[in-house]
Structure 1
Amino acid sequence: MSAMLIADWCPLGNDTYFRKFEIYSMAWQNEINMENLSVAVGAYGGPVALIRDRKKFVKVQGIGKPIISIYSASGNNISSIIWSSGQIIQLGWSSTEDLLCVQDDGSVLIYDMFGTHQHTFSMGQEAQDTKVIEAKTFASVNGTGLAVLTTTSFRIFLVNNVKNQNWAVISEDRQTRVLVAKDRELYVLKQSEQHALPVVPDFSEPISSIVEMAVSQNNRHVALFASNGILWIGSADLKKRYCEFDTKCPSQPKQLVWCGTEAKRSHRADEYIRLVKNELDDAVKQCIEAAGYEFDTTNQKMLIRAAQFGKGFIPDLNPDSYVKMCRLLRVLNAVRDHKIGIPLTYTQLHHLTIQVLLDRLVLRRHYYLAIQIAKYLKLPYNEGSSRILAHWACYKVKQTQLDREQVARDIADKLGYAPGVSYSEIAMKAADCGRKQLAIKLMDYEPKASLQVPLLLRLGEDRPALVKAIESGDTDLVYTVLLHLRENMPLGEFQMAVRNYPVAQALYLKYCRDHNRETLRDIYVQEDDFNAQAAFFIQESYDPKNTMSKEASLSAAQESYKKGRNEFSASLCEEQLKLLRYQKTLEEKFHREFVGRSLHDTVYFLLLLHEVKLADKLRTEYRVTDRRYWWLRIQSLAELGDWIELEKFSKSKKSPIGMEPFVDVALKYESKYEAQKYLPKVRDELKVKYYVKAGLYEDAAKIAFEQKDLQALMFVQARSAPADRTLSEKICLLVSQLSSKK
């Protein structure tokens, strides 16, 4: 058995082995003659692009235009492109499986594997003028790069990422180098050097020229093929030789391509058998690992069963690696199937990741298999099933021949409200394909109004967008719609539309109050809302930026109230106008600012100016109450410090507000002496409080004791200064006496 397992392994040098085996019998059978074609193969089991070799004379049947045929790795036809552009120099594939078609004028046309044009870019004016004679794609940290060689002076132009073209004579990425062979000599072009640097690979035998070169996918290794059939494999810097192999094939190969970098890691079955004797743990692990490198399912089963048998004798062995490998092998075998045609190796899958593999299945429209793999590997919905279904839905909406109602139902039935699915993105795809009604239908399934509304606006569905925004309760969203409508509709039409939605109308009015008051007034006029118009004019009268006079604004407010039959408010406006006119006369007389003050402040200001008669007149005319007037009189006299006049005023007649305000103002202006004049006249129920307020704790305690109010006495005790021991003892004695009586 072991001899059969290692029979197809061949030595490459001294320590490295490789094997060559057929994965597929290509589906195209005898239809394709590779001798007459140029071939570009995508990495990691990617698609194959074929085009007639421009350097060979081939009999052409049918149309004379070149045809690019795209196949899966198993030879199943995916699509064809009838080429009607310039002369193709080279085909290549990007890391995202886009086909790069390089023309002799430096233009690069990019297609997906189904022949749909994505976009075009140029390698620059100089490349266009001097013509391209050769091109190479390469993998870089930025993505897929492209280098072209021109006819004049053999200048090289490159971009490090075909998705983001940033071309230069030498790449701006300092890790990118160009390797050029001329006869037996090799040169390296670097950005930091003005001239090419010669390098000498370590060939064991003399060679006349290097005819082919190939760089590995990870950019770490390089293979050189010499004219005498010697194959040299070593590090990318050419300083280390891995092996040298005489192919005994002196003719130049059609292509020299790396299919992987793991040849040196391959194991022979007899090595595992020898290991089992002493190292059972390692043997089990290596059986599991070796199964991953096998394409033949029979060998996979044999190695997995061997590992399963061996791990039964190791009680502490962690089974995770065994379970994981079984799962990955099932996935690998599924995508290697002839119908799928992605012959990934275990190493490639590890580098590519499951997510990218799912993306590639989605790109090939194998949605069902992608979902089954995601479920089998128990991936989170957002990363697995939901994401794949969203891609399927985006593809579905592009099928313009299908009925929109049926498409919307199918998508809703499949997707439901799965986590991670955004109906707005699917609807946007439908809109991009010109299927507006389908997009609107799909938006009904989108649960988030914040995603619904912007797309509805984009589709011109303004009123449904406004309704959705209002129903969401999100005021910011309503404002978004309102401002969009305001910018894209005539003003009159906009205002008529908004008035049908009370919530939107209220929010728009609020917006106008803050940002556009002229529009606010126009709306009130349009709606015949006289009370709102009057309120607008009143607010305007107090606005320092108001272009109208204060008097004119108040007059306009009065007229609006009259039109609205609000006589009470109209009379208030009339009184305010009278006050305004009176304030103007006061300003002329005293050269002080009166306009803008309230009635209360105007009276108070007159009292401060000792204009008591004018204040009394104003009080009488505007029916200011006695209580308010006494407050103003007391406060003004205290502020002026006219304590004699204040005492006279207190005796003029009975105070309608009591004596407490007199005490308050005296204490406010720190005149304890004046406060003591009024304390005896304070109401009994407030005396203790006011004596404490004045700091007369002993008197307050006596009053509380006389009133037999224990709570008041304890209040005095709590507020009195603890440092005064004599006072504290007196109050404690009074408390004890009053307590004993109760």
Structure 2
Amino acid sequence: MAGVAVAAEWQLLYNRYYRKPELYQMQWKNVDLTRNKIACAPFGGPIAVIRDDAKIVQLYAESALRKLRIFTSSGRLISETVWKNPGGRLIGMSWTDDLTLICITQDGTVYSYNIHAELISTFSLGKECFDNSVVECVFWGNGVVCINEAFEIFAVPDFKVPKTVKLADCNLEELPHCIAVIEPQYTKSGDVEVLLGVGDHVLLVEEDLVQPLAEGMGPFQKMVVSRKGEFVASFTHDGRLLVMSTDFSDVIIEYACESALPPEQLAWCGLDSVLLYWDDMLLMVGPYGDPVRYIYDEPIILIPECDGVRILSNTNMEFLHRVPDSTVSIFQIGSTLPAALLYDALEHFDRRSAKADENLRLIRSSLPEAVEACIDAAGYEFDISQQRTLLRAASYGQTFSSLFQRDSIQEMCKTLRVLNAVRHVEIGSPLSIQQYKLLTPSVLINRLINAHKHLLALRISEYLGMNQEVVLMHWTCTKISASAAIPDASLLDILLDKLKLCKGISYAAVAAHADKSGRRKLAAMLVEHEPRSSKQIPLLLSIGEEDTALMKATESGDTDLMYLVLFHIWRKRAPLEFFSTIQARPLARDLFVTYARSYKHEFLKDFFLSTGQLQEVAFLLWKESWELARNPMASKGSPLHGPRIKLIEKAHNLFTETKEHMFESKAAEEHAKLLRIQHELEVTTKQAIFVDSSISDTIRTCIVLGNHRAANKVKTEFKVSEKRWYWLKVFALATIRDWDALEKFSKEKRPPIGYRPFVEACVDAGEKDQALKYIPKLADPRERAEAYAKIGMAKEAADAASQAKDGELLGRLKLTFAQNAAAASIFDTLRDRLSFQGVS
């Protein structure tokens, strides 16, 4: 059978098979895991190595100079740096989810390194950890829990936000036997929960809570929480392995080990089994059945993954995991399942045996299921030839099945090509298909570009149809930082050659990095290639290219961008320099003027003065005078020489200097003169009723108040015509019902406006008797007729109308007296008489 050789390497744990294929022969030399502190990142990530300063140094074997070295999972050196040990002994070291290496020293200093062994940042856990040294720390994804010599517990929930949280006081008198952590994302409270093995029980510690659990079940020597925080595996003082729920209420596994000596390492292998490691033996315990033993003659480190455990030794890297069901169905010894028969059929077909057809006939109804199993099994294989054979078996079976989704093989081929590329010893990232799906392709791309594997990242992005911009941007920024010796023009050509591969890439972002790297000339050259003004212009401003930015903003026609540039230049340049800059560009100038009219009058006045636009300054001053009028607080001070009058006088003086604005000059002069007179009137009358009224209203108000001298003064000052004067005085006297004064005024001389205004003023005031004084003086009989009609005197109206010999007027007057039949008949009689006379 096909599966004999493959299945021979499997181990059976109760009813489940496990296998432990070798991923790599380690490429490093002279790395002894026992003499070093090791931090291995999950998802096939890098390995950080630093000599353990608690161990004796063998000077003949290695240098006394301590180095932090970072390797790929295949043991290839990525980077190294001298460890200067500034904060005392190194207590703990671990990788975060985004592959930042965190190192915590005795004095509570936290050092962050990138994959290239470059120090990114440092921060302190706080005074308590500095005064009382850190003795132990337990890491999870992006956080850590530490305990110090004073038995105080601290947590950093997220290294991206370097904030230390002190957990509740446990009143410990000695260090706990063991510490485990339930990550915040798996707790009800959303905060980290710490499990401490203390005495014969466990303490659950939170920020403001301490709760005893599992009383009488301990002491616990080792504890480890499962990946999703559901279970906790613990090793007791009497040599038992207990697997319980995290509240310690249910015991799922209890296994008595042969030794009461606690294991060096305790780890979960997926969710199906637990691994215990002593000096030379790795024990795998499942829920049922006998455990599986692996013997090692060299030290190992267990690296838990979502679907198994990677096992690192001095010489190789292995991956212990459960054999997938699809693989078992094909390769289990004696299997007659459809997938196994299909795999065998391919072997017979390759040997040109008729047995291939016989196998296919047996499984014809189950062919889609068999093809699916072969594809699935191929995804779990690390051996490329085995992948190829399984996919060939799937393709062979697919030929005889019309029901199968034909793109499944293509998708699996794509996935395996990516996985095989990153698993290559040069890259050293041994992802399983489950890890790859959980990690996601985009995160894998980010890991590759951070490791400066840009070409592979670009090819994978292109192959998977992903956006290549992320890769190209990172490569470009890296290239700029690493190419200090290359001239700007040469480097620009190199960058443009690659950037053109991706349409829509942000040249502005690349230029920003160039500027940040101190290459301003290169930045200016790059930003010229940015087609989007919204990205180009802010960058031009940041690199000091204000004039170019103003030109580009003007060309774009975007007023928001124009204002952005204007405000930037306004803030940076001296006023006169700013004025000359915008004066040459009409659009920029107009936008500035529009804004400044509303918010920056003083600055706008300076601009107009500097550009010789005196009339514009005058208009602004005049506008300010009106704004002062609306502000009740601004008119304090001398009523004669108030701020408004001064502003208008300044406006008058400026208008006078421009020949084209003689009208405005005269108007401003008269406005100031009128305001001064009105102020004087308000002072003398003690009534605030004059300011900002018209000349006519000022005269009328003076007459109403009886101040004829003031009215005459205004008339004289502003050369008010006689006709206008008579109209104003007639109606003003009628307003105060001074009929004697009105009659006297009418007799001073023949009124230039005639007597009709006198009649109208009396009629409007409802004084018929007064009106009768002036109606007879009306020279035009039509006016007399209409005047008599207004006061209801029909006969007199009819007589005047007949004198005018106007039939149309008689008709109109008849309508006025429509409700008075006798009066109406008079108008009819007169019309008839006129008509008769006209006929004769």
Change (3 A) 1:246 1:377: closer
Letter in 2 for 1:519: F
Equivalent residue of 2:59, what SS?
A: coil
How far apart, CA to CA, are the structure 1 residues paired with 2:435 and 2:674? 90
How far apart, CA to CA, are the structure 2 residues paired with 1:128 and 1:515? 55
Residue in structure 2 matched with residue 49 of structure 1 by the alignment? 48
In the TM superposition, what whole-angstrom CA distance separates every residue of 1:155-179 from its partner, at most 9, and x where no partner exists? 4322221111332343994453334
The one of 90, 112, 115 equivalent to 1:113 is: 115
Asked whether the equivalents of residues 146 and 153 of structure 2 are also in contact (C-alpha less than 8 Å), the reply is yes
Change (3 A) 1:560 1:435: same
Equivalent residue of 1:274, what SS?
A: coil
Letter in 2 for 1:162: F
The Cα of 1:422 is off from its aligned counterpart by 2.3
The one of 435, 457, 481 equivalent to 1:370 is: 457
The Cα of 1:460 is off from its aligned counterpart by 3.5
Written as runs of structure 1 = structure 2, the 5 A alignment for 1:271-310 is: 271-272=329-330, 274-276=336-338, 277=363, 279-310=366-397
The Cα of 1:358 is off from its aligned counterpart by 1.0
The one of 91, 95, 99 equivalent to 2:97 is: 95
The Cα of 1:516 is off from its aligned counterpart by 2.5
Letter in 1 for 2:472: L
Change (3 A) 1:393 1:248: closer
Residue in structure 2 matched with residue 472 of structure 1 by the alignment? 556
Equivalent residue of 1:405, what SS?
A: helix
Asked whether the equivalents of residues 100 and 108 of structure 1 are also in contact (C-alpha less than 8 Å), the reply is yes
Equivalent residue of 1:24, what SS?
A: strand
The Cα of 1:618 is off from its aligned counterpart by 8.3
TM-score, with structure 2 as normaliser: 0.67
Letter in 2 for 1:621: K
Change (3 A) 1:170 1:4: farther
How far apart, CA to CA, are the structure 2 residues paired with 1:91 and 1:45? 17
Change (3 A) 1:282 1:672: farther
How far apart, CA to CA, are the structure 2 residues paired with 1:259 and 1:543? 75
Residue in structure 2 matched with residue 19 of structure 1 by the alignment? 19
Residue in structure 1 matched with residue 325 of structure 2 by the alignment? 267
Q: Which moved more, 1:363-372 or 1:168-177?
A: 168-177
Are 2:307 and 1:257 aligned?
Answer: no
How far apart, CA to CA, are the structure 1 residues paired with 2:445 and 2:723? 85
How far apart, CA to CA, are the structure 2 residues paired with 1:653 and 1:619? 33
Equivalent residue of 1:621, what SS?
A: coil
How far apart, CA to CA, are the structure 2 residues paired with 1:178 and 1:486? 57
Change (3 A) 1:449 1:38: same
TM-score, with structure 1 as normaliser: 0.75
The Cα of 1:195 is off from its aligned counterpart by 4.7
Residue in structure 2 matched with residue 713 of structure 1 by the alignment? none
Q: Runs of 5+ in structure 2 lacking a partner?
A: 169-182, 254-271, 274-284, 286-290, 309-320, 339-362, 636-641, 732-756, 802-808, 819-840
Residue in structure 2 matched with residue 31 of structure 1 by the alignment? 30
The one of 675, 687, 690 equivalent to 1:594 is: 690
The Cα of 1:623 is off from its aligned counterpart by 6.2
The one of 176, 195, 215 equivalent to 2:192 is: 176
How far apart, CA to CA, are the structure 2 residues paired with 1:484 and 1:583? 46
Change (3 A) 1:368 1:37: same
Q: Which moved more, 1:581-590 or 1:115-124?
A: 581-590
How far apart, CA to CA, are the structure 1 residues paired with 2:297 and 2:137? 23
Q: Runs of 5+ in structure 1 lacking a partner?
A: 202-207, 681-686, 697-742
Asked whether the equivalents of residues 227 and 251 of structure 1 are also in contact (C-alpha less than 8 Å), the reply is no
Are 2:91 and 1:8 aligned?
Answer: no
The Cα of 1:246 is off from its aligned counterpart by 5.6
Change (3 A) 1:340 1:650: farther
The Cα of 1:344 is off from its aligned counterpart by 0.6
In the TM superposition, what whole-angstrom CA distance separates every residue of 1:450-495 from its partner, at most 9, and x where no partner exists? 3333333333343333333333333333333333344344444444
Are 2:426 and 1:339 aligned?
Answer: yes
Are 2:719 and 1:621 aligned?
Answer: yes
Asked whether the equivalents of residues 190 and 196 of structure 1 are also in contact (C-alpha less than 8 Å), the reply is no
Equivalent residue of 2:11, what SS?
A: strand
Residue in structure 1 matched with residue 210 of structure 2 by the alignment? 194
Asked whether the equivalents of residues 230 and 246 of structure 1 are also in contact (C-alpha less than 8 Å), the reply is no
How far apart, CA to CA, are the structure 2 residues paired with 1:284 and 1:624? 114
Residue in structure 2 matched with residue 79 of structure 1 by the alignment? 79
The Cα of 1:316 is off from its aligned counterpart by 3.3
Change (3 A) 1:79 1:233: farther
Asked whether the equivalents of residues 569 and 578 of structure 2 are also in contact (C-alpha less than 8 Å), the reply is yes
Equivalent residue of 2:31, what SS?
A: coil
Higher relative contact order (CA 8 A, sep 6+): 2
Equivalent residue of 2:25, what SS?
A: coil
In the TM superposition, what whole-angstrom CA distance separates every residue of 1:178-229 from its partner, at most 9, and x where no partner exists? 344579866544556425433688xxxxxx9866554454444555567999
The Cα of 1:590 is off from its aligned counterpart by 10
Asked whether the equivalents of residues 27 and 74 of structure 1 are also in contact (C-alpha less than 8 Å), the reply is yes
Change (3 A) 1:590 1:66: closer
How far apart, CA to CA, are the structure 2 residues paired with 1:474 and 1:39? 57
Change (3 A) 1:578 1:168: closer
Residue in structure 1 matched with residue 485 of structure 2 by the alignment? 401
Residue in structure 1 matched with residue 348 of structure 2 by the alignment? none
Change (3 A) 1:209 1:199: closer
How far apart, CA to CA, are the structure 1 residues paired with 2:379 and 2:722? 99
Letter in 2 for 1:307: A
Change (3 A) 1:312 1:457: same
Residue in structure 2 matched with residue 128 of structure 1 by the alignment? 130
Residue in structure 2 matched with residue 160 of structure 1 by the alignment? 157
Asked whether the equivalents of residues 231 and 246 of structure 1 are also in contact (C-alpha less than 8 Å), the reply is no
How far apart, CA to CA, are the structure 1 residues paired with 2:224 and 2:200? 16
Change (3 A) 1:585 1:394: same
The Cα of 1:299 is off from its aligned counterpart by 1.8
Asked whether the equivalents of residues 200 and 215 of structure 2 are also in contact (C-alpha less than 8 Å), the reply is no
Change (3 A) 1:418 1:564: farther
How far apart, CA to CA, are the structure 2 residues paired with 1:598 and 1:198? 96
Change (3 A) 1:480 1:192: same
Asked whether the equivalents of residues 109 and 119 of structure 1 are also in contact (C-alpha less than 8 Å), the reply is yes
Change (3 A) 1:594 1:136: same
How far apart, CA to CA, are the structure 2 residues paired with 1:347 and 1:212? 28
How far apart, CA to CA, are the structure 2 residues paired with 1:639 and 1:89? 109
How far apart, CA to CA, are the structure 2 residues paired with 1:163 and 1:469? 38
Change (3 A) 1:471 1:251: same
How far apart, CA to CA, are the structure 2 residues paired with 1:504 and 1:181? 72
Q: Which moved more, 1:364-373 or 1:456-465?
A: 456-465
The one of 611, 618, 622 equivalent to 1:534 is: 618
Change (3 A) 1:187 1:595: closer
Give percent identity, aligned residues only: 29
How far apart, CA to CA, are the structure 2 residues paired with 1:255 and 1:646? 122
The Cα of 1:71 is off from its aligned counterpart by 0.9
Change (3 A) 1:625 1:328: farther
Asked whether the equivalents of residues 203 and 210 of structure 2 are also in contact (C-alpha less than 8 Å), the reply is no
The Cα of 1:79 is off from its aligned counterpart by 0.3
How far apart, CA to CA, are the structure 2 residues paired with 1:331 and 1:145? 31
The Cα of 1:343 is off from its aligned counterpart by 0.7
Residue in structure 1 matched with residue 58 of structure 2 by the alignment? 59
Residue in structure 2 matched with residue 569 of structure 1 by the alignment? 664
The Cα of 1:365 is off from its aligned counterpart by 1.5
